[in-house]
Amino acid sequence: MVAEKIIEQLSELGVKFIYGIPGWSNLPIIEALRKQQKINFILTRHEQTAAFMASAHAKLTGDIGVCLSIGGSGATNLITGLLDAATDQVPVLALTGQVDSNFLVTVPFQEINQIGLYDSFTVFNESVVKSDQIINSLVLAVKKAYSRQGVSLLSLPLNIMTKKFKGSILKKENILFENTLVPSNEEMKKFITCINESKRPVILGGWGIRNCGEALLSFANNISAPIATTSRVKGVISEKNSLSIGVLGSLGCKCTCDILKKADLLIIAGSGFRRNKWIPNIPIIQIDDDEAKLGKEFPIEAGLLGDVKPIIKKVSLLVETKKPDVAFFHHLNKLKRRHQKEIENDSRNIVKPIFPGFIIQSIKRNANRDAIICVDCGDHTYWFYKKYICEDGKIVHSANLSSMGFALPAALSAQLDFPEKQVICIAGDGGFGMAMADFTTAVLYNLPIKVILFNDNKFKNVKKTQIWGRYKEFGTELVNPSFSDFAKSCGGEGFRVDNPEELDKTMRQAFNLDKPVIIEIIVDREKLAPW
């Protein structure tokens, strides 16, 4: 049966999880999943959660994430999560059920134009209308998702899924290959010259450095260059390292911008950094595997096209070793000490209602060094990225789409992928409220995620942008349930904290429980994160 071949081929390609909701138009796929043991079907309460989980899986592992829906409203519900994957450029495959191919365009029950709906943001978008197309179509969808780092859609009419198929699946080693493109020495000459002639180079690492932290750090040590990162790769370089200067951008801290102002060369590795207001008027050189990103936002002196990791290793061998500029590093360390002092002040700020910065430092004191932290979008996001010093863990969030409701599905996905790791979800009451039904999914699959919930009964980041835009605050007030009681009613555990002196004790207690937990923290409604 075609549906069984789909699951067999996905298993051969290394897929371990498919997230989604069953229904009439995808039941052949559901039955095929039931009859095998290699791929786990993860039932969610909403298709948006399934798509967010697929996106988070791709961000955390680099492997393709797969989600499943019925046609009609199921296919429309996937869109926000798939757009997160598309805008953050990670590989995801969506399998959507569809009415019988004989009835397409005759407007039967739950038929929508899936191809037209998905066309604006997918890298592959096709309907399978003949059974003998299935393996080639599926493999091409996966290859496109990997090669173009984006979302592929296969629309699967119900009658096609039940047809017989006698063809063979294709082996992974024959169809999927890694990009290891490295420019020649000649092509690198100008790039190397720019580095050799600089005295105070700074590196900005983006998504392209996610798998080459050690190589980048070795290169940075070789040329005595501080390393800033975009928010997406916070923690790839330990932020306690002497060369780390933290996140650059609106989520970053002021000291990173101030350090960059004293540089005489910026080396951008694996980022199409789009906001040049944080970049001073200095020479820029760039490495990326996407030619369109080279010099896209600002003119560059030299660009190298290819895979960041092997290029960094090769450049590191070709450049001259550089001694640190004494005055530059004196300035850098002074600014870093000032930032550290701010963090220490936050850690001692025991006021009621609870100060948001104190919560971040409580998480830092009690979380494992290698915890996976999934961060939602809101005012708490700024507190976390500016004030949490990340060492060995992984951080994941909805970067370019900046979608609320991402962190809980991401935490579910992370705990499935890394069952031995501590997984923490940091969310506000607004964003968590959009996805909270899927806390039951953590209970269903015994996923001991820990949700740190900033409860201020408000869309506080909206309030901040209204102030910034000189508007009156409006439409931000929320009425919330007791989130801690909700956790208990789902079969998990819940705590409510309104006294800062009890927060560390509660964190320790919650983190030691082998079950899903919500720590609901009553936070200062008026204290806004700095821009």
Does the residue 409 lie in any domain?
A: yes
Going by pLDDT thresholds of 50, 70 and 90, the confidence category of residue 165 is: confident
Q: Flag whether pLDDT at 101 surpasses 80.
A: no
What confidence score (pLDDT) does residue 181 get? 83
Q: Which of 103, 132, 167 is the last residue of a domain?
A: 167
Does the residue 271 lie in any domain?
A: yes
In terms of domains, do 159 and 190 share one?
no
Q: Which two tokens stand for residue 246?
A: 């933290």
In terms of domains, do 11 and 157 share one?
yes
**pTM of whole model > 0.75?**
yes
Residue 446: name the closest of 427, 423, 475, 469 by CA: 423
In terms of domains, do 207 and 141 share one?
no
What confidence score (pLDDT) does residue 69 get? 97
In terms of domains, do 132 and 214 share one?
no
* Segment holding 29, helix H or strand E: helix 27-34
Does the residue 175 lie in any domain?
A: no
Q: 484 lies in which domain range?
A: 348-522
Task: Pick 329 or 181 by higher pLDDT.
Answer: 329
In terms of domains, do 432 and 486 share one?
yes
What confidence score (pLDDT) does residue 106 get? 61
Q: Flag whether pLDDT at 268 surpasses 90.
A: yes
8 Å CB contact between 55 and 92: yes
What confidence score (pLDDT) does residue 65 get? 98
What confidence score (pLDDT) does residue 237 get? 94
In terms of domains, do 405 and 466 share one?
yes
Does the residue 421 lie in any domain?
A: yes
Q: Which of 305, 332, 359 is the last residue of a domain?
A: 332
Q: Flag whether pLDDT at 199 surpasses 80.
A: yes
CATH code of 95's domain: 3.40.50.970
In terms of domains, do 105 and 139 share one?
yes
Does the residue 527 lie in any domain?
A: no
> pLDDT tens for residues 378-435?
999 999 999 999 998 899 999 999 999 999 999 999 999 999 999 999 999 999 999 9
CB atoms inside a 10 Å sphere around CB 426 = 28
In terms of domains, do 308 and 244 share one?
yes
Q: Flag whether pLDDT at 278 surpasses 80.
A: no
**Distance in angstroms (rounded) separating the CA atoms of residues 498 and 521:** 6
Q: Flag whether pLDDT at 361 surpasses 90.
A: yes
In terms of domains, do 98 and 64 share one?
yes
8 Å CB contact between 440 and 490: yes
The per-residue DSSP string of 313-334 comes to HHHHHHSPP----HHHHHHHHH
What confidence score (pLDDT) does residue 447 get? 98
What confidence score (pLDDT) does residue 104 get? 65
Residues whose CB falls within 8 Å of the CB of residue 65, separated by 6 or more in sequence, listed in order: 17, 19, 53, 54, 55, 56, 57, 58, 85, 90, 91, 92, 93, 413
**Distance in angstroms (rounded) separating the CA atoms of residues 269 and 311:** 10
Q: What percent of the chain has pLDDT over 70?
A: 97
Average pLDDT over residues 205-210: 94
Going by pLDDT thresholds of 50, 70 and 90, the confidence category of residue 529 is: confident
Q: Flag whether pLDDT at 129 surpasses 70.
A: yes
Going by pLDDT thresholds of 50, 70 and 90, the confidence category of residue 276 is: low
Could you tell me where the beta strands, DSSP code E, fall in 364-431? 372-375, 394-397, 423-428
What confidence score (pLDDT) does residue 109 get? 66
What confidence score (pLDDT) does residue 531 get? 73
Going by pLDDT thresholds of 50, 70 and 90, the confidence category of residue 103 is: low
Q: Which of 137, 167, 197 is the last residue of a domain?
A: 167
In terms of domains, do 477 and 367 share one?
yes
Average pLDDT over residues 248-255: 89
Could you tell me where the beta strands, DSSP code E, fall in 410-490? 423-428, 450-455
The DSSP output letter for 238 is -
Q: Flag whether pLDDT at 81 surpasses 70.
A: yes
Arithmetic mean of pLDDT over the chain? 93
What confidence score (pLDDT) does residue 110 get? 64
What confidence score (pLDDT) does residue 169 get? 87
Q: Which residues in 122-138 are b (16+ Cβ under 10 Å) and which e? A: bbbbbbbeebebbbebb
What confidence score (pLDDT) does residue 288 get? 93
Going by pLDDT thresholds of 50, 70 and 90, the confidence category of residue 105 is: low
In terms of domains, do 396 and 298 share one?
no
**Distance in angstroms (rounded) separating the CA atoms of residues 94 and 122:** 10
Strands 65-69, 92-98: pairing is: parallel
Does the residue 236 lie in any domain?
A: yes
What confidence score (pLDDT) does residue 8 get? 95
In terms of domains, do 42 and 160 share one?
yes
Does the residue 292 lie in any domain?
A: yes
Task: Pick 38 or 180 by higher pLDDT.
Answer: 38
> pLDDT tens for residues 488-502?
999 999 999 999 999
Q: Flag whether pLDDT at 265 surpasses 70.
A: yes
What confidence score (pLDDT) does residue 384 get? 97
Does the residue 152 lie in any domain?
A: yes
CATH code of 288's domain: 3.40.50.1220
The count of domains in the chain is: 3
The per-residue DSSP string of 338-363 comes to HHHHHHHHHHT---SSBPHHHHHHHH
